[in-house]
Amino acid sequence: KSSLPKTILKNGGMTTTVAGSVLEKAGTMENLLDRIPNASAQNGSIKVFGRGEPVIYINGRQMRDKSELDRLHSDNIKSVEVITNPGARYAASTKAVIRITTKKIQGEGFGFDATTTGEYDEKKNFGGYSRLNMSYRKNGLELGAYAFGAKQYQPDNKDLQQKTYLDKTWNQKSEIRQVGILEAMNFRLNASYQLDANNSIGANFGFLRNPKQTWNGDMSSSILQDEELSENSDSHADFFWQKNNLSSNIYYVGKIGKLGIDFNTDWLWSKEYQNDVTKEQYQEVGMNAQSQTAHSLTNKDYHLLASKLVLSYPIAKGQLELGSEVSHTHSSGEYSNAEGIVADASTDMKEDNLAGFLAFSYPLGSFSMDAGLRYEYVSAKYYSFGKYEEEPSRNYSNWFPNLTLSWNKEPWAASLAYTCKTKRPSYSSLRNEIGRA
């Protein structure tokens, strides 16, 4: 009697088998990923230890929206691979990758599954979510529809105390009482066709809407100097956020002889609206009270068109991969502050990314090797109030090599990796209210 190891070290990461294990009973994808070695998932945030937020792939296709995880359940998952040393196959700014492989659905005909959960807290807030998955399969053709709706309350109460010891002792006490309310709906249609045992094509279209996400909170603070009150302040914040997303994907996965082909194209459109109001009052001992209100409005539009092609060919016991990626993004935004605390902004950012890579993997008994070389060219153009600005606009051209050696011999495993990476600011870091502050 023998059994396969549940987690193995390979190609710069760890692959965990979910099918047939207790992990099948984890429930939601967040619960599952939180139980996968080297990964954590809590309150919608997914992290890889020592690397931060990963890029996630589902059946070889990059996940563009986190709501896609809501469509999956632990008992539908075959395996999860956590890659802590991404090679040339991935963008040079990728710090970590999680690859999720689902089980192949068996049988033909119509099928559906539905899930509903409810939550009721001590503040008498009621929330939860419902999802419905429907599919039809016949002679290689598969049609699917998915619907999801949720309302969630997210309380976040804190009592903080900070002491600073200088020539005098400063004691800052803060009491924070805040709650967020999220409403979301998500719909998706997909179709795929299995041409033969080695070739399949497919497409999907999705719509995501967050009709309302609010966040309001109060914070009271006091500062004491040698236990005597020096200053106190009170603030109240109200945030309102709304989002709409449209997305689509077309893919082909197949073989021509020994040549493997993996091609997919993604399109994404997103629009966001945000209304923020913050009121603050503070008073120093012996001084008059001071108050201030900040009211800001933000509108954002985001467009993405991206394609990726990977060709693979076996060489001896190893595999050679040659691929390319192209993408175009256009992000525009309008920001205004009623009090003039921060200057108004109107920005456009256009970015074109072209990449090519060559990778080779080879098993050597208990060892395995993965080597690659990636080239990236990025052209970013920045416009403010319709005028092109040369200083923040950039062109980059770089080479990124990588090499990983892994060793597996039950119950031990080890790896040694060299990877060349780059770090680029996120769109969140370039948002209007920060860029113009």
Question: What digits encode the pLDDT tens for the residues 159-187?
Answer: 999 999 998 899 999 999 998 888 989 99
Query: Environment class of residue 309 by beta-carbon count within 10 Å: exposed (0-12), middle (13-18) or buried (19+)?
Result: middle
pLDDT of residue 426: 67
Task: Say which residue, 71 or 435, is predicted with more confidence.
Answer: 71
CA dist., res. 150 & res. 185, Å (int): 6
pLDDT level of residue 432 (50, 70, 90 thresholds): low
Q: Please check the confidence at residue 203 and state whether its pLDDT lies above 90.
A: yes
pLDDT of residue 2: 52
Please identify which residue in the block is written with the tokens 């689509």. Answer: 248
Show Cβ contacts of residue 130 under 8 Å, excluding neighbours closer than 6 positions: 114, 115, 116, 117, 148, 149, 150
Please identify which residue in the block is written with the tokens 């939860």. Answer: 128
CA dist., res. 317 & res. 414, Å (int): 21
pLDDT level of residue 427 (50, 70, 90 thresholds): low
> What is the number of residues in the chain?
437
Nearest to 303 by CA among 332, 276, 269: 269
Show Cβ contacts of residue 327 under 8 Å, excluding neighbours closer than 6 positions: 304, 305, 306, 307, 351, 352, 353
Question: What digits encode the pLDDT tens for the residues 63-81?
Answer: 877 777 877 888 889 999 9
**Share above pLDDT 90 across residues of the chain, in percent, rounded to a whole number:** 46
- CA of 118: how far to CAs of 31, 191, 253, in Å? 17, 31, 39
Q: Please check the confidence at residue 228 and state whether its pLDDT lies above 60.
A: yes
Q: Please check the confidence at residue 194 and state whether its pLDDT lies above 80.
A: yes
**Lowest-confidence region among 55-64, 74-83, 309-318:** 55-64
pLDDT level of residue 207 (50, 70, 90 thresholds): very high
Which conformational region is residue 54 in: left (phi greater than 0), alpha (psi within -120 to 50 degrees), or beta?
beta
pLDDT of residue 437: 39
Nearest to 361 by CA among 353, 350, 372: 372
Q: Please check the confidence at residue 44 and state whether its pLDDT lies above 70.
A: yes
pLDDT of residue 436: 43
Nearest to 68 by CA among 47, 89, 44: 44
Question: What digits encode the pLDDT tens for the residues 109-145?
Answer: 898 888 888 888 777 778 888 889 898 999 889 999 9
Nearest to 297 by CA among 217, 244, 239, 349: 239
Beta bridge partners of 177: 157, 218
Show Cβ contacts of residue 72 under 8 Å, excluding neighbours closer than 6 positions: 29, 58, 100, 102
CA dist., res. 435 & res. 297, Å (int): 15
pLDDT of residue 435: 46
pTM of the predicted model as reported, rounded to 2 decimal places: 0.77
Average pLDDT, the chain: 87
pLDDT of residue 256: 92
Average pLDDT of the segment spanning 256-271: 94
CA dist., res. 381 & res. 390, Å (int): 8
Residue pair 416/407 in contact (Cβ under 8 Å)? The answer is no
SS3 assignment for the chain: CCCCCCEEEECCEEEEECCCCHHHHCCEHHHHHCCCCCEEEECCEEEECCCECCEEEECCEECCCHHHHHHCEHHHEEEEEEECCCCCCCCCCCCCEEEEEECCCCCCEEEEEEEEEEEECCCCCEEEEEEEEEEEEECCEEEEEEEEEEEEEEEEEEEEEEEEECCCEEEEEEEEEEEEEEEEEEEEEEEEEECCCCCEEEEEEEEEEEEEEEEEEEEEEEEEECCEEEEEEEEEEEEEEEEEEEEEEEEEEEEECCEEEEEEEEEEEEEEEEEEEEEEEEEECCCCCEEEEEEEEEEEEEEEEEEEEEEEEEECCEEEEEEEEEEEEEEEEEEEECCCCCCCEEEEEEEEEEEEEEEEEEEECCEEEEEEEEEEEEEEEEEECCEEEEEEEEEEEEEEEEEEEEEEECCEEEEEEEECCCCCCCCCCCCHHHHCC
